[in-house]
Amino acid sequence: MNFDFSDDQKMLKEQVRKFLTDKCPYSVPRRILDSDEPYAKEVWKGLVEMGLTGTAIPEAYGGLGLGALELCVIAEELGRAAAPVPFSSSVYLASEAIKLFGTEKQKQTWLPKLAAGEIIGTFAISEGLHAPSAANIKTSFAGGKVNGVKTPVPDGDIADVAVVVVNAGGKVALAIVDLKGAGLSHEVLRTFDPTRSHAEITFKDAPAELMDGQGWEQVSRILDGAAVLFAFEQVGGAEAALEMARDYSLERYAFGRQIGSYQAIKHKLADMYVKKEIAKSNAYFGAMMLNDEGAELPEAAAASRIAGCDAYVFAAQENLQTHGGIGYTWEANTQFHYRRAKLLALTVGAAIQWKEKLVARLEAKNAA
């Protein structure tokens, strides 16, 4: 058994950490929070220059030809830094979707540009304040045109291309839409995490191309892969929140003692650690299944997601609590994780959806 990342992968992780520690300290998400800038362009540019946007894209399409495991270590570092960049939309979602289900021509058209970071991609699935499902997708595809409204779309205001989940004559399918083309308008949304921008996109006879194949299974596969990658972001974020809490509990005194000397705080931090480790181990299995395209990917992805949501939301929330009054201020960095943890817990579907999905799978297997 060798249930660990390779030395090369760990070195990649170190490189990304070094870059982000240097170029994306909390002052960067703070700048995005306090301004109208949709994302940190210079951080994005740096990631692109390191070739990271092409990590898992085959060399034939201009990428580095590495795999999901490399993406996982990058994700963990992006999560740790709460980096305000469109990496997840462009890489875990758009690029992966095109790689999996694009036609040869679509791959040739879009992947090199995505790999090179010349364009930003996104995945448009949600249609409002409810979970999307096979039966409720209304955005339609017919005669090479998409019509409908997708909201919220992560990075929908800055993306150049979107993989859009559509209803094509009663069947769920995927369509590629050039967001710089005709028939499109968007509105930036107010969200609780302004360090990641979201938009409502309206398609009015927007020219589009269907991707290969059809069915909700494709959507599920895309979400499964992204769930694993997001789980690594969540693990990274949870670790950062835990470290922040530990550091503070060592320097803050109450009643003449470090607050870290109180068991209420110690146990809180220990619980954060336990949840984070459980999430990490699940995410490792998710990574393995994703990398090998294993049969257990759906269960592994759901488990990664459920544990990741739990670990990060808890760590972020209790990190803030550990800080007392200062933790609830705009000035404090605790808020970046409080916001991001909840954002990531919603972004490819809430845990409660994944729990249903997981148990349905387990039930079917159990019956077989």
Which residues contact ligand FAD by CB under 6 A? 252, 254-255, 259, 262, 264-265, 321-322, 324-325, 328
Tell me the two tokens of residue 52.
């990271």
Q: Classify each residue of 105-136 as buried b or exposed e, where b means 16 or more C-beta atoms within 10 Å of its C-beta.
A: ebbebbbbbbbebebbbbbbbbbeeeebeeee
Evaluate whether 339 touches 280 at the Cβ level (below 8 Å). Answer: no
Closest contact distance (angstroms) between CB of 259 and ligand FAD is 4
Whether the bond into 152 is cis, omega within 30 of 0:
yes
* Complex with ligand FAD: residue 192 or 255, whichever CB lies closer: 255
Closest contact distance (angstroms) between CB of 331 and another protein is 7
SS (H, E, C) 129-171: CCCCCCCCCCCEEECCEEEEEEEEEECCCCCCEEEEEEEECCE
Quick check: helix, strand or coil at residue 357?
helix
- Candidate ranges 110-118, 225-233, 249-257, 285-293; the one touching another protein (CB under 8 A): 249-257
> 353: number of CA atoms within 13 Å, CB side?
16
Instruction: State yes or no: residue 190 binds another protein (CB under 8 A).
Output: yes
Binding mask 144-173 for another protein (x = CB under 8 A): -------xx---------------------
* Complex with another protein: residue 24 or 172, whichever CB lies closer: 172
Evaluate whether 311 touches 76 at the Cβ level (below 8 Å). Answer: no
Q: Which of 7, 27, 35, 129 binds another protein (CB under 8 A)?
A: 129
* Complex with another protein: residue 2 or 263, whichever CB lies closer: 263
Run of H or E residues at 365:
helix 351-367
Instruction: State yes or no: residue 325 binds another protein (CB under 8 A).
Output: yes
* Complex with another protein: residue 1 or 364, whichever CB lies closer: 364
Q: Mention every residue, 6+ apart, whose C-beta is less than 8 A from residue 261.
A: none
* Complex with another protein: residue 73 or 223, whichever CB lies closer: 223
Quick check: helix, strand or coil at residue 123?
strand
Closest contact distance (angstroms) between CB of 325 and ligand FAD is 3
Closest contact distance (angstroms) between CB of 150 and another protein is 10
Q: Mention every residue, 6+ apart, whose C-beta is less than 8 A from residue 207.
A: 144, 145, 146, 177, 178, 181, 182, 183
Q: Mention every residue, 6+ apart, whose C-beta is less than 8 A from residue 304.
A: 227, 228, 231, 279, 282, 283, 285, 286
Closest contact distance (angstroms) between CB of 197 and another protein is 11
* Complex with ligand FAD: residue 252 or 342, whichever CB lies closer: 252
Closest contact distance (angstroms) between CB of 254 and ligand FAD is 4
* Complex with another protein: residue 228 or 287, whichever CB lies closer: 228
* Complex with another protein: residue 46 or 152, whichever CB lies closer: 152
Please choose, from the candidates 121, 85, 79, the residue with its C-alpha nearest in 3D space to the C-alpha of residue 242: 79
- Candidate ranges 9-17, 60-68, 78-86, 246-254; the one touching another protein (CB under 8 A): 246-254
Sort 24 into a burial class: Cβ within 10 Å, 0-12 / 13-18 / 19+: buried
Binding mask 331-350 for another protein (x = CB under 8 A): xx-xx--x---xx-xxxxxx
* Complex with another protein: residue 55 or 195, whichever CB lies closer: 195
When CB distances to ligand FAD are compared, the closest residue is 324
Q: Which does 337 bind (CB under 5 to 8 A by kind): another protein, ligand FAD, none?
A: none
* CA 223 to centroid of chain Cα atoms: 10
Cα 154 from Cα 103, distance rounded (Å): 24
Where does this chain bind another protein (CB under 8 A)?
125-126, 128-136, 151-152, 189-193, 198, 251-258, 262, 264-265, 313, 317, 320-321, 324-325, 327-332, 334-335, 338, 342-343, 345-353, 355-357, 360
